[in-house]
Structure formats: C-alpha cells, structure tokens
Amino acid sequence: MVLEDFSLPERGAVPRGGSFQSSSHEERGPWPASPRDRLAATVADFIVFLPILALVIAPFSREAREAQILGSEEAWSAAVGSALAAGFFALLVYQTLTVLVFGATPGKLALGLRVVSTSLPGGHRPRPIEAFLRALFWCLEVCLLGIPWLAVFSNERRRPVHDRVADTEVVTYSKSRRAVPAEPSLVEMSLASGFQSATLAVCAMVLTVEITRIQTRYASLESKIMRLEEEGYVCPEIKEAIDKSSVRRLDSTKDRLETALSLYLSGAVEKICVEAEAELALWKNEEAPLAYFAKAVAFEDIEKAEPYFEKACDESMRGDVCKAVALIRGSVREAEEEGERDRDAENQHERETLKVLTSIDETSPDYLRTLAVRYLVEKRDNESALSLLDAAMSFDGARDFAAQERAKALWRLGRKEEARAALTSALFLLGPEGRLNLAQWFCRNEVLASGCSSESTAACSQVREAVNDNEAWLHRPEIASAYLHTVSCSAKEESLQSLTERLPFMTGRRVAAALLKAQKGERREAVLELQEILKGSSSNRGVFLTDANVLLASIAENTDELAPVQSAWSRMDERSEGWLTVGRSLLKNLVRLGSWDAALTTGLKLRQEDRFDRESLELTLLAAKKAGRPIVEQTLLTGAERRPSSLQKRSRK
C-alpha cells in the first residue's frame, strides 16, 4: 500500500543527526525519492488542492460566465485573467505554506516523502525563502504544462530546476522506495535537459506569436464591437447604403426598413437583414404596417405571410405599403395557378394592379419601384418597366438592379442597339457577380436568338474570362450554358470536346456533344442526339433544355425533325423566359422551312404572351400572308396598336 496508514507512528519530525555526507548515509537515509512516487504525490496534491482552487476561483468564474452570456469579450478576458492569477497565487501559497509548516505537501506526506533543505545540515526543513522559491518555480513549471519536471531525470539526486534553485531536495526515509538510477547516465541526463530546453524555447516562441495575434485581433475586435453597438446589429450593407445617402438616417426606423426592403428586393442582401429590421421595428412599436409588410416579404411560405399582409394593409387601398401588398398578391396569384389558367380572373387582377401601378412614379420609395419593376417584367410589360427604371434609384443595390433590368428590358423590347449600349455602361457600373450575371444573360440570348455574331462576342468574352479565372462558376447552369455557347462560337473543336467532359451537368454535356457533332458536319447524328435529350428529360424546364430545343430547331431540315421541339414547347411553362426563347426560335425556323400554318399558330401564341416583339410580329404576318389568312393579318396589326398601356402614355407626358 502506497498511501501511509496514518495510524502508524508519526514520522513528521525529521530525524536529526547525520548529514548527507556521512558514511552511514547509505543505511539510514534519507534517499532521493523516486520520480514515480513524486508523480503520485502530485496527483494526490491535485485531489486535495482542486476543491480549494474551485473556491478561490468562484467569484471570477461567475463574472466570466456572465460576460460570456452578454457577449462581452473584454470582460470575459478580464475575468479569466483574474481567475488564472488567483489560481496561481493560491497554488503558490499552498505549496509554500505546507512545505514550511509540515515539511511536505499533503500529497507528499501521504506518500511518505519530505522536502529537505540542502543548505542546512541534517535534513532540515527548508527555510522560508527556500520554500517560497521552490514553490514559485514549481508553479511556473506548472504553467509550462509541467514539461520542465522532466529535468528530474537530469541528475542523480533527482533535483529538477525548482529544487536546485531553492537548494532543496525531495527525499524518502524508506529504503525500499528510494530512487535507484542505474548509473549516472549521460544520455538520460542530456536528453532530459535538452528536451526541456527545447520545449521551453518552443513555448516561448508560441507565446510570443499568440500575444501578438491577440493584440492585433483585439484591435480590430474593439472597432468591430464599437461599430456593432453603434449600428444596433443591422446588416452592414444597410448601414453602408444609409451612410452613402445624404437624406437617410440610421436612427430612423422608416429609413432602415425601406432601405432593407429595397436592397432585399433587388437581390443585394439576404432576407435575414429584412427580418431583423422588421422585428426591431415591431417590438419597438414603430412603423407597424411597413414592418408587417417587411416581415411578410421575408417569408418564403405564402401561407405564413398572408396574415402579415393583412395586418400591413387592412384599411382602404391607399399608402405605399398597400400598393406593395397589392403588387405582391398580384404576382403570387398568378404563380399559384399552375394548371389551367383562368384568364378572366387574371384580367381582373391585372386591372386592379394596373390601377396601383399607375400611381407609382419617381417619388415612390425605392422598394416600391423595385417591386413594380419586378412585377412588370414578370408580366412582360417591358415598356412600363423601362419608364420606371429611367428614374434614378437611390441605393447601390437598387442601382445595380436598375442597370441590369434596363439593359434586359431594352433587349426584350427588340431595341437591341440601345440594349447593347446599356449593357456596356452597366458592365462598367456593376460588381463582379452582377457583371457576370448580366454578361451571361446577354451572351445566351444573343447566341440563341441570332447565332454567333460580333455582338455576342462582347458579352461572351466576359463569361469566358470569369470561367477561366475560376472554374467553379461552371456549377451555375446559366453560366455553364453561356460558356458552352462562347466556346462553340469560337469554333475551337478541342475546347468543345473538353467541355463534353468538363461540364458538371449531364444534359449540358450531351448538348455539348450534339453541338460538336453539328460543327463537324455530322448533322443527322446531332439531330438524333438532340431528339434523345428532349425525349428523355422529365422536367420541362432547364437551361440546357432550352439550348437543346433552339439548337435542334436551327439545324432541322424538315418538319419531322422539328416535331419534338414543338411538343416540348407545348409542355413548357408559358411564363418562363425559356418559353419565349424557344418559341421565337421555333417561329423563325418554321418560316425558314416554309411550314406556314404551324408558323402562324406558333406566332399567334407568342403574340398573346409577348405584345411588343417586332420581329415575331413581322414573321407572323409573313406566315399569315403565305397561308392565305389576311383577316388574321388585320387583327394582328390593329391589335398591336389598340392594346393600351396607361403607363406608357403617362411616361410620355
């Protein structure tokens, strides 16, 4: 049994007589204590000291926890620092006092070890200064994770640094338990002290690095904390936008909400920013209607949002918030009806929202205009959207949105030269992601509408640059498709060949393969491949599906080959942009193949959805003439002029 049975005769008093140098030393002891015993003694000391330590640290630990809860880093660091200091001090006192009074710490006592002074003869208890020095260095070694204790192996008398500094030694009076080094092993000694020095050096270096790192981090943390406290936890983009504006204020709930809404609706911030602002406003009981609206907009689930919409606008249809609610409800209702479309109900909603739209002008808040533009684009009323966009939007995010939508709207209206000019100025204005988005859109639309041309090169080169910089962009389907078109227009077979493997989308790879075949002149094989793709796809959406359709339409040489495109088109969602692209391509190629009746039907369907496309109008008129249907011709022409757009009229004022 290692631990002393204390019922045995007390051995606290150190026996006198006989110094270390005496010849009978070998028989009577004391002998150096074995390191294993000392280790066990440290463990026992730990058991005894731990509760005391817990007590000493208690108040600081409480402070630390409170600071952590409150998220206050400086207070936490201060509390932890104090706790560490208090713990160190307590350990120091423990070691010093027990050695002074009992001649050993409780753990050593339990193992039958004693600390004796080597400066006094006869195995005396250490003097106060010795006890203190020993304890001090012992505690410092603890701070270095106890590595310096390895020095216990560095000499025969098993005296590590703290023993040598303090002129002390740890001994046992039991011969069987003494330390028995075989011989003064030089290897053992140098390993121990060398390892120790190396560890100390490494610790010193690590400490220096850590301290510098903490200092720099603290410096930036401080400023970050100050900023957060100032902003009250709003998203930084919102704060930036408000700072840049001369009229908006950060402490005005209305300004913050409107800014957040406008940035979110133009895609510049995440919905969590809007949510946070809305919650803030609601619980402060300010701007309740706008706040309810903002919260509703942030919901993805329309059912959850509906009660909030009602709370946002429960009186007559006045006020900006009510207009915004009407717009969202208008576009949502259409999205809901996936199956049969009820045209009468739709027209009714259209008239209501039209009333709302007429009241929106340059003085309306940005978020409302952004919402109106989105609504108009969805309804394919690009003229009205354009007139709204022409008035300046005040926030960066909204400005980017406005620039992109202007270029796209001009294109959709068929004013291609203006669109390209708008594209150039927009590319100048936008950030990298916005640039890529716009370039990709234009590249695809140019190529799909009129094949490879010098116009398409401008936009497509942006796409190529971006993808060559960072291939990860290819994981976005629109960008991958735009890149595919860029490569195919450059007519480099090897690049196209590599794309058939590199593209991350299976349909995309197959379209690339078909493109390659077409370029090589294997037209029939390309047609077969494309027909397979169209047959096999289960969904009727998808970027590459549009590409496949357009490609097949352009290389088909008879109506049989074109048939799959027609059936695929009939399955597509008429409200999607892909539907328009494929439809126009279909119309063009049906006219090319001389299939007038089919072309006329296609053209009429397109006309229903897309009122202002001149090119399709001309092609449809041609088809009508060739098919011998002049009445239709008339209706088409008058229909085009007669369809009113009160927004259009108003903007001409």
Partner 1 sequence: MIFPVLRGLLSPLLIPVTFLLFSLNLLVFIVTLGENEEGDRKIEAILSNRSFIETQGAAFAQMISRQDGASVFSPMLHQLAAKALNGDSDSRRLLGNLAVRNATFMRDAENYDFVGDEIALEKWRSAFKELKSVQAEHPTYQWGLSRLHNGWLQYITYQFSHSGIVHLFWNMVFLLLFGGFVETTLGGSFVILSYLGGGLLGAFAYSKLSGISSSPLVGASAAVSALIAFVGIVGMVRKRKLRFFYWLLPAEGYYGFAYLPSWLVLLVMLLPDLGGYLAATRDFGSVAYSAHLGGAAWGFAMAAALSVGLLRSEREKPFRAQHSSQIEPPGDSQNGPKAA
Binding site for partner 1 (CB under 8 A): 1-3, 5-7, 36, 39-40, 43-44, 47-48, 51-52, 54-55, 57-59, 61-62, 65-66, 69-71, 110, 232-234, 276-277, 279-280, 282-285, 292, 295, 307-308, 311
The DSSP-derived string for 250-274 is TT-HHHHHHHHHHHHHTTSS-HHHH
State in angstroms the smallest separation of the CB of 55 from partner 1: 4
In the complex with partner 1, the residue whose CB is nearer, 7 or 539, is 7
State in angstroms the smallest separation of the CB of 214 from partner 1: 23
Residues contacting residue 297 through CB under 8 Å, at least 6 positions apart: 261, 264, 265, 271, 274, 305, 328
Q: Using an 8 Å Cβ cutoff, are 624 and 600 in contact?
A: yes
In the complex with partner 1, the residue whose CB is nearer, 279 or 383, is 279
Q: Using an 8 Å Cβ cutoff, are 276 and 256 in contact?
A: no
Bridge partner residues of 32 (DSSP): 171
State in angstroms the smallest separation of the CB of 297 from partner 1: 14
In the complex with partner 1, the residue whose CB is nearer, 65 or 649, is 65
State in angstroms the smallest separation of the CB of 233 from partner 1: 4
In the complex with partner 1, the residue whose CB is nearer, 35 or 181, is 35
State in angstroms the smallest separation of the CB of 83 from partner 1: 10
For the chain, what is the radius of gyration of the CA atoms?
A: 41
3-state class (DSSP) for residue 314 = coil
Q: Using an 8 Å Cβ cutoff, are 34 and 178 in contact?
A: yes
Amino acid identity of 167? D
522 vs 539: CA distance, rounded Å? 28
State in angstroms the smallest separation of the CB of 477 from partner 1: 32
State in angstroms the smallest separation of the CB of 257 from partner 1: 13
HSE-CB at 310 with a 13 A cutoff on CA atoms is 5
272 vs 291: CA distance, rounded Å? 14
State in angstroms the smallest separation of the CB of 305 from partner 1: 10
State in angstroms the smallest separation of the CB of 73 from partner 1: 14
In the complex with partner 1, the residue whose CB is nearer, 238 or 550, is 238
In the complex with partner 1, the residue whose CB is nearer, 89 or 233, is 233
Nearest alpha carbon to residue 626 among 588, 589, 594: 594
562 vs 550: CA distance, rounded Å? 10
State in angstroms the smallest separation of the CB of 128 from partner 1: 26
State in angstroms the smallest separation of the CB of 309 from partner 1: 11
In the complex with partner 1, the residue whose CB is nearer, 67 or 530, is 67
In the complex with partner 1, the residue whose CB is nearer, 153 or 292, is 292
| Backbone phi, psi, residue 84, to 5° | -60, -45
State in angstroms the smallest separation of the CB of 65 from partner 1: 5
Residues contacting residue 124 through CB under 8 Å, at least 6 positions apart: 14, 116, 117
In the complex with partner 1, the residue whose CB is nearer, 63 or 334, is 63
In the complex with partner 1, the residue whose CB is nearer, 6 or 128, is 6
State in angstroms the smallest separation of the CB of 289 from partner 1: 12
In the complex with partner 1, the residue whose CB is nearer, 283 or 428, is 283
The percent of the chain in helix, strand and coil, each rounded to the nearest 5, is 75, 0, 25
| Backbone phi, psi, residue 414, to 5° | 90, 5
Nearest alpha carbon to residue 298 among 257, 264, 258, 259: 264
Taking CA atoms, 286 is separated from 256, 281, 291, 364, in Å, by 12, 5, 8, 20
State in angstroms the smallest separation of the CB of 72 from partner 1: 9
In the complex with partner 1, the residue whose CB is nearer, 90 or 458, is 90
263 vs 456: CA distance, rounded Å? 30
Identify the helix (H) or strand (E) that includes residue 32.
Answer: strand 31-32
Work out the number of other CB atoms within 10 angstroms of the CB of residue 252: 14
Q: Which two tokens stand for residue 315?
A: 């009186």
Q: Using an 8 Å Cβ cutoff, are 43 and 107 in contact?
A: yes
3-state class (DSSP) for residue 178 = strand
622 vs 247: CA distance, rounded Å? 55
Nearest alpha carbon to residue 281 among 304, 308, 320, 254: 254
Q: Using an 8 Å Cβ cutoff, are 373 and 384 in contact?
A: no
In the complex with partner 1, the residue whose CB is nearer, 175 or 524, is 175
Q: Which two tokens stand for residue 533?
A: 């793709």
Q: Using an 8 Å Cβ cutoff, are 315 and 289 in contact?
A: no
308 vs 437: CA distance, rounded Å? 33
In the complex with partner 1, the residue whose CB is nearer, 235 or 591, is 235
In the complex with partner 1, the residue whose CB is nearer, 269 or 582, is 269
State in angstroms the smallest separation of the CB of 478 from partner 1: 34
